[in-house]
A and B are shown apart, each in its own frame.
Chain A
Amino acid sequence: MVRFLKPCIFTLSLVPFSLIVYKIFFNKLGPEPVKEITHFTGEWTLVFICLTLAMSPLKRITNSTFWINIRRMLGLFVFFYATLHMLTYVVIDYRLDWEQIINDVVKKKYIYIGFSAWLLLLPLAFTSSKKMMTLLKQNWKKLHRLIYVIAIFGSLHFIWLSKTIFFKPLIYTLIILFLLSLRIKFKKSA
């Protein structure tokens, strides 16, 4: 079952990527293509963050380890879409104009927090292999709790860049907060 479903989910996860590549090549992004690519990759990063965070609660609810089997792949798709998002900004939009980019990262809090989130994803991506998992032992779990911080940073990034209408960023924030709240273990009072 997992053997069959995993490649399916992998292919499905590449659908947004294929869609944006198609839109770039066939000029279907409207008058502000760079803005479209930035928003598209950014939003899919958040979707994959939510999906990744949903896996361990689903494992508990359904009592199936299937979710844990696909969690790493979804997590790596977070990294994949986040990297595309970051590169769109750095390479396509600002064309490696480091002076402006550094200025933005330092001065604009939404870029600062977005970039921090991407940096925090790096150690998670590098330690995602089975080899690293056995090497780091219990520390692996601790390290990978960074995804909670990344998720919060991601939602703040979306809120802070929004103009005045916070509907969509709030939806993502609520989903993320809900998924995080499922991890709080309430101690039974004696």
Chain B
Amino acid sequence: MHPLTTVVTGLYNKKLPNQNGAPLRIFIPWKYGFKSAKAIVKIKLVEKMPTSSWMWASPKEYGFFSNVNPDVNHPRWSQASERVIGNDIFSPRIKTEMFNGYGDQVADLYTGMDLKKYY
């Protein structure tokens, strides 16, 4: 597992509540804000790339890799900028960074891959 990845078991010093993905949630910071797993309930080792729930729900819009990538437009909106959650209405949007700004640490995981194709 990449050292930036965290398996979450709790929230604010308490046991992880169901609505936040109990029993285990995986937190992958360079994918956060795109589509992420909500909870880990089972781990299966499979031969072929599986269909994730968002690929299944809306195959035109979501791919398997779910990396944050400002250069790949979502069919419904641009992904070049974002609003920071928790900010008030007077705060501006910020530019979305490739891999949420963790490019230095994680870009090598995807070397040779066309991330516009594998989004």
Contact = CB atoms under 8 A, between A and B. Distances in A.
A18 B88 CA distance: 19
B43 interface: no
B19 to A, nearest CB: 15
A34 B82 CA distance: 12
Interface string B68-98: 0000010011101101011011001100000
B114 to A, nearest CB: 21
B58 A31 contact: no
A161 B83 contact: no
A160 B76 contact: yes
A24 B57 contact: no
Interface in A32-80: 32-35, 37
Contacts of A103: 78
Given A104-B78, A163-B58, A24 B86 contact: no
A86 B23 CA distance: 42
B57 A164 contact: yes
A94 interface: yes
A11 interface: no
Interface of A is mostly: helix
A12 to B, nearest CB: 26
Contact of B81 (A34, A100, A160): A100
A107 interface: yes
A31 B85 contact: yes
Interface string A103-123: 110011010000000000000
A97 B78 CA distance: 13
A104 B88 contact: no
A33 B78 contact: no
Interface of A: 24, 27, 29, 31-35, 37, 92-95, 97, 100, 103-104, 107-108, 110, 160-161, 163-164
Closest 9 CB pairs of A and B: A164-B57, A31-B85, A33-B89, A31-B86, A164-B58, A92-B89, A34-B89, A95-B92, A108-B77
Given A37-B89, A92-B89, A164-B58, 7 more contacts: A27-B88, A33-B89, A93-B93, A100-B81, A104-B77, A104-B78, A108-B78
